[in-house]
Amino acid sequence: MILAQKPARLDYAAGSESDSIYYDRAGFEGSDSEVAAKLRAVFASDAVDVESGEGIQLLTDQRVFAPQAISLALNDYMMDARLRARLKSFAKTMPPLHVHSFPMHRYGFHENARYLKICMQYQQYGSFSMQDYLLLAADTQDEIVRLRVMMALYTLGLITPLESGVAGVKHKHRSIFSTIADKLKIHHF
């Protein structure tokens, strides 16, 4: 799940139970505790479906800004072995990553020091490997903390693939004047 800036409804199911949480540009709908509980349920769910578009109507004006909501949900979040295995399997498929800097400390993210180390590692080497980061876990507790950091960065879009899907295509920067001049040459009057 990567958060977008348009209104959306996240429908999630765990076993026979299902629920929804609403999101728009201002954040997740609900109080801090409601949003944190629902996001934890989303993280542990078996299936998530995202509906977005003009027809999404939020019920209240109460919002929790996305970075704060993700921080609240992931702080001290404990996950079972099944979820850890799914997340580690997902991390193995991640290409080298670009890490974006964002002031997560402002939103009470408990693992901010680890996030800053990831940012420094990215700046030092020019890329970041999530798989290598997870392999450095000293024990199960350390692995859980590292997985929480991965979940926060991925969900908020703070890590992206280093290379785009289009290989070998280079775009030359052109001035507006050059573009206009070329169009005038093509549409010679």
Q: pLDDT tens across 118-136, in order?
A: 999 999 999 999 999 999 9
78 phi, psi to nearest 5 deg:
-105, 135
C-alpha distances in Å from residue 166, one per residue of 24, 58, 138, 169, 179: 30, 37, 37, 6, 23
Residue 4 — pLDDT band, cuts 50, 70, 90?
A: low
Q: What is the pLDDT of residues 93-121, one digit of tens each?
A: 999 999 999 999 999 999 999 999 999 99
Q: What pTM, to 2 d.p., does this model score?
A: 0.79
Q: Which pLDDT belongs to residue 152?
A: 93
The domains of the chain are located at 1-74, 78-189
Higher pLDDT, 189 or 149: 149
CB distance 114 to 147 below 8 Å: no
Residue 174 — pLDDT band, cuts 50, 70, 90?
A: low
The rounded percent of the chain whose pLDDT value lies above 70 is 84
Higher pLDDT, 1 or 79: 79
Q: What is the pLDDT of residues 14-42, one digit of tens each?
A: 888 899 999 888 889 999 999 999 999 99
Kindly state the DSSP code that residue 69 receives in the 8-state scheme. Answer: H
C-alpha Rg value of the chain to the nearest Å: 20
pLDDT at 177 over 70: no
Q: What is the pLDDT of residues 155-171, one digit of tens each?
A: 888 999 987 554 444 44
